[in-house]
Every structure is written in C-alpha cells, then in structure tokens.
Amino acid sequence: MYFKINRPITDKFPNMGMINIFGDFFLEEGDEGFEKYKSEHYINIPILPDCGYPRQAELQSQYEPPIEEVLLYEQWLSELPKEYKYNSFCTHAIQFEPDVTEEEILWCFEWALALTHQNYLIDDLCCVNTGKLVNQNIGYSAHKAWHELIKQTPENDLSEEMLLAKQKIIDANIKIENLKEVDFTTVETIAVYNVRN
C-alpha cells in the first residue's frame, strides 16, 4: 500500500485558518484485497497530449458550452491512444492547523492509509461506526459566521481572540503556499512512510 499527496494544498473553507491536504491511496500486488482493487480500479484512460485539447477556449467560453463543442471534445478524447492505469481506491482529505510539520502530515496519511484499507476490505469507505459517520460535520456554518464577523469588524474593535483568528488565517495561507512546493518523498523523517510521487 502507498499514498500520494498529489492534490493542490488548499483551504477547503477559504480564509478560515485551516489547511486541507488531499492524498490518494493505492494498493499493490500482494496487498489484501488487491484482486478486488484490480477489478475495480485498473482502467483504460486516454493519454492526454502536453498541449491539451486544441479547442479548450471554445469549450470553456460559456457557462454551458454548445452541444456541438461537447461532442467535438468527446470525439477527440475517444480517438486518443489509451493506457491502463490504476486509480486510487480512495482519496482522503485531512485538515491541519497552520503549524503542522511535514512529518506530522505524513504520519496522519500513513495512519489513514491503514485505516482506510481496513474499511475498503469490508466495503465501508464511509467509516460508518455504530450507525454514525466517523467523518462528521465540524460546525462549518458557525465557523464561517465567526470569520464573517471578523471581516466586518473594524481593526480597532477586534478582540484579542479575533486578532488571533486573523493571524491564524495569515499563517495558514503562508503555510499553504510553502507546502505546495514540498516533495513529500524527500521529507526527512524518523519513521518510514509509504509515500510516493
């Protein structure tokens, strides 16, 4: 088993001081459940040229492109050469505080990989536990309302708690930009993690 941290690192809820990192999980031959994984996730996909779709501008010029443009794109896609590749069996997002270290990120994804593999084997990727989802709503609407209030409050009227929340947003945005450049396969760590490019 291994994981790839290969998604842009962004704040799922912009400007609220947290970092969301996405990782894709893969199985390898010899892993438990590999035959099921192979039958579900070994797919034939087109090899996209570096230049991309020649009529991309026309396709994206309107909110809903004309059906003719969509059909031209689908025809172009169907005529490309194809190759078999493994899709991930699961993509997972983990939310972190801005002071997270690169090794802490790797440790969390290593832990999630093992747990998600167990859930995949029992066809339960939603992590249902005693009738409840483990990945529950974290009160996003209240969090959003708090940050809207901070934005609307004049700087001189911000409480100490509001000032700390505002600084956390700045710290998170700086961390997000720095993490975009990280090759997680080269991070120096104490443990060995199943991370790949």
Region for residue 116 given its phi and psi (left: phi exceeds 0; alpha: psi -120 to 50; beta: otherwise): alpha
Give me the mean pLDDT over the 97-110 stretch.
94
Tally the residues of the chain.
Answer: 197
Region for residue 161 given its phi and psi (left: phi exceeds 0; alpha: psi -120 to 50; beta: otherwise): alpha
Give me the mean pLDDT over the 163-179 stretch.
92
Rounded Cα distance between 165 and 170, Å, is 9
Higher pLDDT, 16 or 157: 157
Closest by CA to 55, choosing from 84, 76, 85, is 76
The pLDDT value given to residue 129: 53
Other beta carbons within 10 angstroms of residue 27's beta carbon come to 23
Handedness of CA 25, 30, 36, 38 (dihedral sign): positive
Give me the mean pLDDT over the 89-93 stretch.
88
The pLDDT value given to residue 175: 93
Q: Are 151 and 165 in contact (CB under 8 A)?
A: no
Whether 98 has a pLDDT exceeding 60, the answer reads yes
Q: In the chain, what are the domain boundaries?
A: 2-186
At residue 156, the 3 state secondary structure works out as: helix
Q: Are 17 and 123 in contact (CB under 8 A)?
A: no
pLDDT tens-digit map of 121-131: 887 766 555 55
Measuring CA to CA, how many Å separate 127 from each of 31, 52, 59? 20, 38, 38
Return the amino acid letter for 149: L
Give me the mean pLDDT over the 69-84 stretch.
91
Rounded Cα distance between 140 and 95, Å, is 13
Confidence of residue 145 (pLDDT cuts 50, 70, 90): confident
Confidence of residue 141 (pLDDT cuts 50, 70, 90): confident
**CA 161 to mean position of chain CA atoms:** 30
Rounded Cα distance between 147 and 132, Å, is 29
Confidence of residue 139 (pLDDT cuts 50, 70, 90): low
The pLDDT value given to residue 182: 93
Q: What is the average pLDDT score of the chain?
A: 86
Confidence of residue 8 (pLDDT cuts 50, 70, 90): confident
Encoded tokens for 163? 């000032």
Higher pLDDT, 138 or 185: 185
The pLDDT value given to residue 3: 96
